[in-house]
């Protein structure tokens, strides 16, 4: 169904978007860190909560991508448009509820999740959460609209809009934080402005006549329960899986906090390097949702299976390249930090170990299941992901750290064991062909 040229045109903007967004995130964090320890601590606390909310928007958008791509594969443009309108309205409704709840209850929510923190940190967190919560509706609309563009194979426009928005955010930070001295409020306002702009531009693109998926009439956004059920049946399991994943990461982070200053500092740098290594590979999985979804919509599961294998191989090559750069750069990057000599050695060795394990196991653990999700096999991926997260990434990491004396290595042994288990389960599922039994559009 797809030529090599079409696949390249789909994937390279996705990869570039993910990489640039990650780099801009690092720059954003660096700018905020110059405001002071209380500011960066408050922002870090809120960002972990924001990431959890963002994952729900992404999961709902992924459900819409699968439904729309299958309708497009089936050459049913009107229903693809109907599904797109439902995704946009449902995303906006979810965002408005989240915005209202967190803006109103920000103090008790922060206290419940993070406990007692220094007053200066809590003040910074409250300010940052209030303003960033106001950006949820725009973030949800951008996320949904970008997913709909990708459903038709157009990943170039979302990449351009995301790039411009990221640059706006960094420039806004520079002006509001350093120029006007607004501190955390300036950082939050820059984020709000960039999200408003990106959402409006994406919707303008979406409204252009003649597109496969375009904005419909106002009545198209009224709830259509059968269509919403199709979307939510795919989006809710992914939201649960992503939510458990983020919550598990918070639990693992609390385990690291008992290992001492060297381990905590090393873990912070390792997490950044690991993100740089894995981010390009994540883009391949996003592209697979579109390709496998359209194949299933045309009733061609054998072609979908072929592309699952092909995209997993592409992700392996991408991870090899990104991991290679990270491994080579790790010794130089650690020298730019305040890590002790012991911390630098630990960081480099763990980075090399993680990169090797990622190359072997990560693509089948995280790229391949997106193909299964595109076929509607979301319950299986959710169950595997949840069981693996809590039994290996959380429980095994906690046991190794607390009772074996291996320190930070225990965290990443558990982390990589999670990859191995997931990959084995998803490979078995692919070969069993049970994923072909779902009918997303029924």
Say how many C-beta atoms besides its own lie within 10 A of residue 411's C-beta: 25
State yes or no: pLDDT of 358 exceeds 80.
yes
pLDDT tens sequence across 182-213: 778 888 888 899 899 999 998 888 877 767 77
- Binning the chain into helix, strand and coil, the percentages to the nearest 5 are 85, 0, 15
State yes or no: pLDDT of 31 exceeds 80.
no
Mean pLDDT across 229-236:
83
User: First CA to last CA across the chain, in angstroms?
Assistant: 23
- The CA distance from 259 to 327, in Å, is 24
Q: Output DSSP code: residue 367.
A: I
- The CA distance from 341 to 335, in Å, is 9
State yes or no: pLDDT of 101 exceeds 90.
no
Mean pLDDT across 12-32:
75
pLDDT-above-70 percentage for the chain: 88
For the ranges 239-243, 333-337, 370-374, the one whose mean pLDDT is highest: 370-374
Domain spans in the chain, listed from the N-terminal domain onward: 1-223, 235-442
Mean pLDDT across 28-53:
70
State yes or no: pLDDT of 138 exceeds 90.
yes
- Here the contacts of 357-361 (C-beta below 8 Å, separation 24 or greater) are 357/416, 357/419, 358/274, 358/277, 358/278, 358/319, 358/323, 358/419, 359/316, 359/319, 359/320, 359/323, 361/416, 361/419, 361/420, 361/423
State yes or no: pLDDT of 96 exceeds 90.
yes
Mean pLDDT across 11-34:
74
State yes or no: pLDDT of 154 exceeds 90.
no
pTM above 0.85, yes or no: no
Q: What is the pLDDT of residue 397?
A: 86
pLDDT tens sequence across 234-276: 888 888 887 777 777 767 766 776 666 677 767 777 877 887 8
State yes or no: pLDDT of 345 exceeds 80.
yes
Could you tell me the sign of the dihedral formed by the alpha carbons of 318, 324, 326, 327, in that order?
positive
Q: What is the pLDDT of residue 26?
A: 65
pLDDT tens sequence across 383-434: 999 899 889 888 898 888 878 878 888 888 988 999 999 999 999 999 999 9
Q: What is the pLDDT of residue 27?
A: 67
Model confidence at 43, pLDDT cuts 50, 70, 90, reads confident
pLDDT tens sequence across 210-224: 677 777 676 767 777
What does the buried/exposed string (b/e) look like for 260-289 if buried means 16 or more CB atoms within 10 Å of the residue's CB? eebbebbbebbebbbebbbbbbbbbbbbbb
Model confidence at 114, pLDDT cuts 50, 70, 90, reads low
Which helix H or strand E contains 164, and what residues bound it?
A: helix 156-173
pLDDT tens sequence across 296-327: 988 899 999 999 999 999 999 999 998 898 89
- The CA distance from 40 to 173, in Å, is 14
Q: What is the pLDDT of residue 40?
A: 66
- The CA distance from 247 to 52, in Å, is 8
Q: Whole-number mean pLDDT of the chain? A: 84
């Amino acid at each position: 169904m797809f030529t090599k040229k079409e696949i390249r045109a789909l994937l390279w903007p996705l990869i570039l978007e993910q990489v640039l967004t990650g780099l801009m995130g690092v720059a954003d964090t660096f700018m905020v860190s110059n405001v002071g320890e209380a500011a960066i601590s408050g922002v870090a606390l809120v960002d972990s909560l924001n990431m959890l909310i963002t994952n729900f928007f992404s999961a709902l958008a992924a459900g819409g991508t699968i439904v729309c791509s299958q309708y497009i594969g089936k050459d049913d443009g009107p229903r693809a448009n109907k599904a797109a309108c439902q995704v946009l309205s449902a995303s906006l409704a979810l965002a408005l509820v989240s915005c209202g709840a967190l803006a109103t209850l920000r103090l008790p929510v922060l206290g419940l999740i993070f406990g007692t923190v220094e007053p200066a940190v809590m003040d910074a967190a409250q300010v940052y959460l209030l303003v960033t919560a106001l950006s949820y509706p725009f973030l949800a609309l951008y996320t949904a609209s970008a997913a709909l563009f990708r459903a038709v194979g157009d990943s170039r426009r979302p990449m351009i809009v995301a790039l411009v928005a990221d640059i706006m955010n960094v420039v806004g930070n520079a002006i509001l934080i350093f120029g006007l001295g607004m501190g955390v409020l300036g950082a939050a306002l820059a984020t709000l402005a960039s999200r408003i702009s990106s959402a409006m531009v994406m919707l303008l693109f979406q409204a252009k006549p003649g597109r496969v998926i375009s904005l419909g009439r106002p009545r198209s956004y009224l709830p259509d329960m059968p269509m919403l059920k199709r979307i939510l049946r795919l989006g809710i399991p992914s939201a649960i899986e992503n939510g458990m994943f983020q919550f598990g990461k918070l639990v693992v982070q609390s385990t690291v906090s008992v290992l001492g200053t060297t381990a905590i500092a090393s873990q912070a740098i390792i997490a950044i390097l690991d993100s740089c290594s894995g981010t390009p590979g994540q883009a391949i999985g996003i592209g697979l949702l579109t390709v496998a979804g359209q194949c299933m919509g045309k009733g061609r599961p054998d072609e979908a299976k072929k592309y699952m294998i092909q995209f997993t191989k592409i992700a392996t090559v991408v991870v090899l390249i990104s991991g290679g750069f990270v491994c080579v750069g790790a010794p130089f990057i650690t020298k730019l930090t305040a890590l002790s000599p012991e911390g630098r050695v630990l960081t480099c060795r763990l980075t090399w170990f993680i990169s090797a394990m990622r190359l072997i196991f990560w693509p089948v653990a995280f790229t391949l299941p997106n193909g299964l999700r595109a076929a509607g096999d979301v319950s299986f991926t959710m169950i595997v992901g949840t069981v693996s997260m809590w039994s290996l990434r959380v429980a095994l990491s906690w046991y190794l750290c607390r009772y074996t004396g291996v320190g930070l290595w225990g965290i990443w042994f558990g982390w990589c064991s999670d990859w191995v288990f997931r990959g084995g389960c998803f490979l078995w599922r692919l070969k069993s062909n049970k994923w072909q039994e779902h009918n997303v559009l029924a």
